[in-house]
Amino acid sequence: MAISVTAEEKQILAGVTIPPRPQALLDISKEAKQEYPDVSKIAKAISEDVGISAAVLQVVNSVAFRRNNQISSIHQAVMTLGIKRIFPLVKAVAIKGALPENPMLNEFWQSSSMVASACTLYANLLGKANLSDNAYMLGLFHNAGVPVMLQAFPAYQALLMRGITEGWGEVASLEVQEFKTSHTTLGALLAQQWELPKPMVEVIYYLHDIDGIFTSGELSEVGLYLLAILKLARSSVDGVIRGECNTDEWLKIQDPLLAFLNLDEVQLDEFREEVAEKLRSEG
């Protein structure tokens, strides 16, 4: 699957700034690609970016990753989790620092952080622990097109507030009507530029275009699991923040998603209760 961009959209996007990867991420990526990556060099690169290192430590000690012993240094985090696990987390936390700060985005980032934690929790509950770190990255990254939209289009503030208060399911179509592009398209382009795994780019792009997605063949199996995990996480966070898990966005995908995961509604309720309890304990 390739991201489809219309001629009109290309013209709009020519004036939109996609933030580059920070130097720390470039250094880590370069070292991680070596035949024998040096853990000390990777830890040093992370530690030299104060914002990224603080955020990584916060994540690895969060409810989603909680261990018996608290991790107190980046070197310890890299040694404990390993390079393959720490790299997605660094990418995830780096995106917030790379995007322009705006007080209007405080609630947005809080919600995204909760979705990221919920993604990791659901990955583990579903027996997909191998996807937990990428699921966290997807949870924090999946709406990254929103701050880019806000920076590019001052009139976007109204839709931003609607998305924060009502959810993003209906906002994407309104974005296209008003701005000729959407946060999912910009988010997918950003994910491509930051070299996120292809299945994650595809999930971001198809996030609100999900009719028949579990049977169409447009997403790989990994992509479908990540999409399912993300939708479950978004639903749970809606429940915690707004008091309603069964939003229109969730109801549109509930039946095919549960069929794909071979889950029934009793199991779903049990998972939701466990995830909500852990999210509330962190908040």
The series of mean pLDDT values per 10 residues for the chain, 283 residues long, is: 76 83 91 91 93 91 80 92 89 87 89 94 96 94 92 91 80 88 92 92 92 91 97 95 87 95 96 95 75
The answer to whether the beta carbons of residues 276 and 122 sit under 8 Å apart is no
C-alpha separations of 245 from 100, 147, 167, 228, 276 in Å: 30, 25, 11, 15, 10
Q: Is residue 2 part of a domain?
A: no
Residue 262's domain is classified under what CATH number?
A: 1.10.3210.10
Q: How many domains does the chain have?
A: 2
Q: What is the pLDDT of residue 1?
A: 59
Q: What is the pLDDT of residue 70?
A: 87
Parent domain of 238 = 102-283
Q: In this predicted model, what pLDDT tens digit does every residue of 147-188 receive, in sequence order?
A: 999 988 989 999 998 888 877 777 888 998 999 899 999 999
Q: What's the whole-model pTM score?
A: 0.90
**How far is the C-alpha of 206 from the C-alpha of 204, rounded, in Å?**
6
Domain boundary among 98, 115, 133: 98
The answer to whether the beta carbons of residues 148 and 190 sit under 8 Å apart is yes
Domain boundary among 52, 76, 98: 98
Q: Is residue 245 part of a domain?
A: yes
Q: What is the pLDDT of residue 100?
A: 79
Domain boundary among 98, 118, 141: 98
Q: In this predicted model, what pLDDT tens digit does every residue of 194-222 receive, in sequence order?
A: 989 999 999 999 999 888 999 998 899 99
